[in-house]
Amino acid sequence: MLELHGHQLIGRGTSGESDDTFQAANPATGDLLPTVFHEASAAEIDRAMTLAAEAFVAFRQTSAEDRARFLEACADEVEALGGQLIETAMAETGHPEPRCVGERGRATGQARMFAQYVREGSWVDARIDLPQPERQPLPKPDVRSLMFPVGPVVVFGASNFPLAISVFGADTVSAFAAGCPVVVKAHPAHPATCELVGRAILAAAEKTGMPEGVFSMVQGRTNAVGVGLVQHPETTAAAFTGSLRGGRALYDAANARPAPIPFYAEMGSVNPIFVLPGALKERGEAISAGYIQSLTLGVGQFCTNPGLVLGLESDELSAFVEGAASGAKGAAPATMLHAGIHHAFVEGVNAMQHRSGLTLVGESGTPADPAKSEAACYVFETDADGLRNNPELFEEVFGPVSTVVKCPSPSDLEEFAAQLDGSLTASIHGTEEDLATYRGLIDILEKKVGRLIFNGFPTGIEVCHAMHHGGPYPATAHSYFTSIGTRCIQRFVRPLCFQGWPQSQLPEELRDDNPRGILRLVDGEYTRDAITG
Amino acid sequence: MLELHGHQLIGRGTSGESDDTFQAANPATGDLLPTVFHEASAAEIDRAMTLAAEAFVAFRQTSAEDRARFLEACADEVEALGGQLIETAMAETGHPEPRCVGERGRATGQARMFAQYVREGSWVDARIDLPQPERQPLPKPDVRSLMFPVGPVVVFGASNFPLAISVFGADTVSAFAAGCPVVVKAHPAHPATCELVGRAILAAAEKTGMPEGVFSMVQGRTNAVGVGLVQHPETTAAAFTGSLRGGRALYDAANARPAPIPFYAEMGSVNPIFVLPGALKERGEAISAGYIQSLTLGVGQFCTNPGLVLGLESDELSAFVEGAASGAKGAAPATMLHAGIHHAFVEGVNAMQHRSGLTLVGESGTPADPAKSEAACYVFETDADGLRNNPELFEEVFGPVSTVVKCPSPSDLEEFAAQLDGSLTASIHGTEEDLATYRGLIDILEKKVGRLIFNGFPTGIEVCHAMHHGGPYPATAHSYFTSIGTRCIQRFVRPLCFQGWPQSQLPEELRDDNPRGILRLVDGEYTRDAITG
């Protein structure tokens, strides 16, 4: 068992200069947890970022194999924390044990996936245009380029995935894979979990010979810590998963710098589900059961939680609503991540109950205990005019609450699809014929979302190469980039081009002999071959 | 000969609602040119953007072959403008005929390169992770993704490349290639050139059956037009090449939107040259001649113009400076793009002449005629303290002026490299031994620039797959993206992911049979093979 100290992890040292301290609470009991954490001072932030900048010199020159081993060692060390990590995460988040164990598996699996991705190596997008010294009127130079790490990266731990999107989430892991040192802002709702994981990463860094400063972590519950990290001159990029309000404030801070940096924010979304007539006829009951399961997964605290369901008025849709109402009734209230989130959820549901045109059709049959920060599940119903009169329904309420909209005609579905803000996902339940019939609706949704799901639900994201977890604003701050899947390494690199550069001084990915056998674009052709003659 | 009308090109129509008009001037004479151009009104901007949004529905569904033919038709139509285009560009920019002809060739070659790039098709980064319905504890879904166009794009024409980085530059061409409609803000210094090229694009769009609104162009010389375009709700991305001041203002306007959009700005840079001892010994004279040639190319108005040369104090460096001074003396003054740029250049040079520690060592032997907006070439010399005391030397002065810094020790070179702002390029003249000896310097430069040139000069950019024309801020607003080379298509796309989607409704690039035979990442392996049972 590691004894917690509540200090910043700065390079290989610890520091707790500030008298400003805080404790996390167990949301299931309201009790304060024992460890006292020190808010990071400006000087501590500066030391962490300065060490990260120093570490970048050596870290970016590590081989892909070195970085792969570092990532695997991190996964091993996180696993070696054993039951202490699981128990700590449970106490700080209200998550049940199987969820914590599963999420740890996702985090370590993700790290090992990135280890393989950098070992294979083609992700650097190596491109070579060979010279033509005799070309007229001007010789063609030798031009080669590849993706190169940007520099120190700041990662904001998310509250809703304390293991898989926090200290050792996809942000940290993909930054390491790229060759970027990381400074994590721990989440104040689960600081002990963060400390444990942070210390595991440091142990892995030491075992695999990584430079001091490759990883640091600061604690804090004030905006000053976040803004201080984002505006530090050595910070070259930042990644964030959280609320629109918090994300936008930090995004604005990043852009207000003398030299702005990219602030990659994933800020949640409403994740609409469209239930089309053919599917409702075939299996309305199964869809309503799946919907409630998705809505209540993780107490409705997934980024991809489905907040809005749209369908065409019909007996089948009425039966679907009845099924959803009954599903909600059977859903047991459960503890949310922390009292603040619980409070916002209760307020959001109360506001909905007072909106005209909106009817509560289903809620958990057993009452939620506010002392345990418990959320009940709520399903509302409205019609097209109800949605038109309540545009707030297009905004996410974080937690297990959702609204079904009964629309009189297909044109309403298109109208509402066009009104959606950018969203991480949209899901369509339909037959293949439905999809063809509603092609106009799909065309609209393609412009609005990052992921389109057919006959499935948005929660429970597969971590893989093709996954995209992003979307037009406000789903994310920059829709080119994802925060899950191997493409997320792209946030922490930029092209670096070498013109006329001698073989001996080129990165090995760009050398003629292609020693790692990666796939390259050579004079416009993709090949793993070496360049000869 | 086309008769110019000076109106906005909005879809297939023209419009000149505003009484606010302007004329461009011939910088070589100061005379106003005959065509009267109408400043775009807010209503005209709105119509152009609305038409672009409407066109997006059809345009993004065109096949790659359709878009390739459209690009090729644009190139044909631009060429068909013949001598009228060349004469118009010469009159508006002061560029000599060979430069205009060469630049037209670069623009049309670039368009044809993009036609081939989209025909080949692998650029969409198609990724497929196949399903595993039996996986425990949860089935693995079918997940597929590819790059998808973002929507209407606003392009700001650059003053310094009226053909290759303006109406029909890499921005427009790569946006079309991606499937995005374009609205161009014509540059007020060459509005007639813009009108001719814009009408050629419209002719190509009509011949190849592209939807109305795929291209529009508005004229304007006020900030209101630029801000109106960037802040229009239908705009999804914008591309800009120009000054830091203008670029930053528009960047801030893009980020101040309720839903921010990416504003891809290339804002110039100082493009340092490091002359290392071995190279100076071997061929100092040739390097100084090449330096002056690069400095005066296009009257010093290239984005990659070398504003700063750094070397170690030595007899060879003194000889290099003498060579450069003599080269400058032989450089004839020439007409700059417009009076405003000329005025800023003269002010910049005057300010340098009054800086202490800075010595003018060479200037054009014949006087520059201000009535012709002519710029002479100027070479200054200073030492390490001179640079320390004049940090303004790290900022670009647009035009043929440059400073050679004689440093006492290699550590000075590293110190100054570390002080550089982000730059498009850095060039190193050295032997292969120099490169190894000065590895520490190169390590620093790798963090500062987008392109490293060995024994060459930064001006004269090769348009190819491996080229990167970008760099850390302020060289560009987002260092991941380039504005030259095939990678520049990435600015106008985002991933779109399909989960569990039926074959019949998938984009063809993601279908099992891979009808176009593109390269795809299937379960982590790159292959052009179809997926079979």
The whole-number pLDDT of residue A223 equals: 94
What CA–CA distance (Å, rounded) separates B457 from B309?
Answer: 12
Nearest to A478 among B262, B470, B474 (CB): B262
pLDDT band with cut points at 50, 70 and 90 for residue A268: confident
A169 touches chain B (CB under 8 A): no
Nearest of B103, B147, B152, B154 to residue B126 by alpha carbon: B147
What CA–CA distance (Å, rounded) separates B425 from B39?
Answer: 36
Residues B342 and B218 in one domain: no
B262 touches chain A (CB under 8 A): yes
pLDDT band with cut points at 50, 70 and 90 for residue B31: very high
Strand partners, B449: B423
Mean pLDDT across the stretch B13-42? 97
What CA–CA distance (Å, rounded) separates A24 from A295?
Answer: 27
At B395-408, the pLDDT tens digits run: 999 999 999 999 99
What range does the domain containing A223 cover?
A: 39-121+146-267
Mean pLDDT across the stretch A491-504? 97
Mean pLDDT across the stretch A453-463? 96
A151 touches chain B (CB under 8 A): yes
Residues B90 and B193 in one domain: yes
Where would I find the beta strands (DSSP E) of A257-331? Answer: 263-266, 273-275, 308-312
ipTM of the complex model: 0.97
Residues B244 and B343 in one domain: no
Q: B454–A494: do the CB atoms touch at under 8 Å? A: no
Residues A362 and A295 in one domain: yes
Chain B residues within 8 A of A500 when measuring between CB atoms: 453-456
How wide is the angle at C-alpha A195 spanned by C-alphas A194 and A199, nearest 5°?
A: 115
Axis crossing angle, helix B223-230 with helix B42-59, rounded to the nearest 10? 40
Give residues 69 to 128 of B whose Cβ lies within 8 Å of A.
116, 120, 122, 125, 127-128
What CA–CA distance (Å, rounded) separates B376 from B529?
Answer: 59
Looking at A212, A245, A267, the residue that finishes a domain is: A267
The whole-number pLDDT of residue B268 equals: 83
Nearest to B462 among A61, A129, A466 (CB): A129
Selected residue of B146, B437, B476, B494 to mutate for chain A interface (largest A Cβ count, 10 A): B494
Residues A181 and A316 in one domain: no
* pLDDT(A284) > 80: yes
A533 touches chain B (CB under 8 A): no
B135 touches chain A (CB under 8 A): no
The whole-number pLDDT of residue B309 equals: 98
**In 3-state terms, what secondary structure has residue B376?**
coil
The whole-number pLDDT of residue A375 equals: 98
Mean pLDDT across the stretch A175-180? 98
**In 3-state terms, what secondary structure has residue A87?**
helix
Q: A145–B466: do the CB atoms touch at under 8 Å? A: yes
Answer yes or no: is B425 within a domain.
Answer: yes
What CA–CA distance (Å, rounded) separates B415 from B68?
Answer: 48
Q: A468–B495: do the CB atoms touch at under 8 Å? A: yes
Q: What share of chain B is helix, strand, coil (3-state, %, to 5)?
A: 45, 20, 40
Q: A452–B499: do the CB atoms touch at under 8 Å? A: yes
Catalytic-role residue among A303, A377, A407, A488? A303
- R_g of chain B, CA atoms, integer Å: 25
Answer yes or no: is B109 within a domain.
Answer: yes
Q: A497–B466: do the CB atoms touch at under 8 Å? A: yes
What CA–CA distance (Å, rounded) separates B15 from A320?
Answer: 53
Shortest alpha-carbon distance between residue B517 and chain A (Å): 13
Examine the residue annotation and report whether A316 is marked as an active-site residue of this protein: no
Residues A59 and A109 in one domain: yes
Catalytic-role residue among B74, B100, B194, B303? B303
* pLDDT(B329) > 80: yes
Q: A455–B500: do the CB atoms touch at under 8 Å? A: yes
* pLDDT(B533) > 90: no
Looking at A454, A485, A501, the residue that finishes a domain is: A454
At A384-421, the pLDDT tens digits run: 999 999 999 999 999 999 999 999 999 999 999 999 99
Mean pLDDT across the stretch B306-327? 98
Shortest alpha-carbon distance between residue B52 and chain A (Å): 14
CA B160 vs CA A441, B268, B422, B450: distances in Å: 44, 11, 21, 20
Chain A residues within 8 A of B114 when measuring between CB atoms: none
What CA–CA distance (Å, rounded) separates A145 from A155?
Answer: 27
Mean pLDDT across the stretch B308-322? 98
Examine the residue annotation and report whether B497 is marked as an active-site residue of this protein: no
Number of domains in chain B: 2
B478 touches chain A (CB under 8 A): yes
Answer yes or no: is B234 within a domain.
Answer: yes
DSSP string of A407-466?
A: ESSHHHHHHHHHHPPPEEEEEEE--HHHHHHTHHHHHHHHHHEEEEEESS-SSS---SSS
Residue B116's domain is classified under what CATH number? 3.40.605.10
Torsional sign, CA A56, A57, A63, A69: negative
Catalytic-role residue among A266, A316, A381, A396? A266
Answer yes or no: is A86 within a domain.
Answer: yes
What CA–CA distance (Å, rounded) separates B300 from B306?
Answer: 9
Residues A292 and A165 in one domain: no
At B114-167, the pLDDT tens digits run: 999 999 999 999 999 999 999 998 999 999 999 999 999 999 989 999 999 999
Answer yes or no: is A459 within a domain.
Answer: no
Answer yes or no: is B522 within a domain.
Answer: no
Strand partners, A13: A10
Cis peptide before B507 (omega within 30 of 0): no
Half-sphere exposure in the Cβ direction for B449 (13 Å, CA): 30
Looking at A267, A292, A316, the residue that finishes a domain is: A267
Contact between B61 and B119 under an 8 Å Cβ cutoff? The reply is no
Residue B332's domain is classified under what CATH number? 3.40.309.10
Q: B454–A421: do the CB atoms touch at under 8 Å? A: no
The whole-number pLDDT of residue B34 equals: 96
At A75-131, the pLDDT tens digits run: 999 999 999 999 999 999 999 999 999 999 999 999 999 999 999 999 999 999 999
At B371-429, the pLDDT tens digits run: 999 999 999 999 999 999 999 999 999 999 999 999 999 999 999 999 999 999 999 99
Give residues 396 to 415 of B whose Cβ lies within 8 Å of A.
none
Contact between B282 and B319 under an 8 Å Cβ cutoff? The reply is no
The whole-number pLDDT of residue B149 equals: 98
Q: Which helix (H) or strand (E) holds B154?
A: strand B153-156
* pLDDT(B462) > 80: yes
Half-sphere exposure in the Cβ direction for A82 (13 Å, CA): 4
Residues A223 and A351 in one domain: no
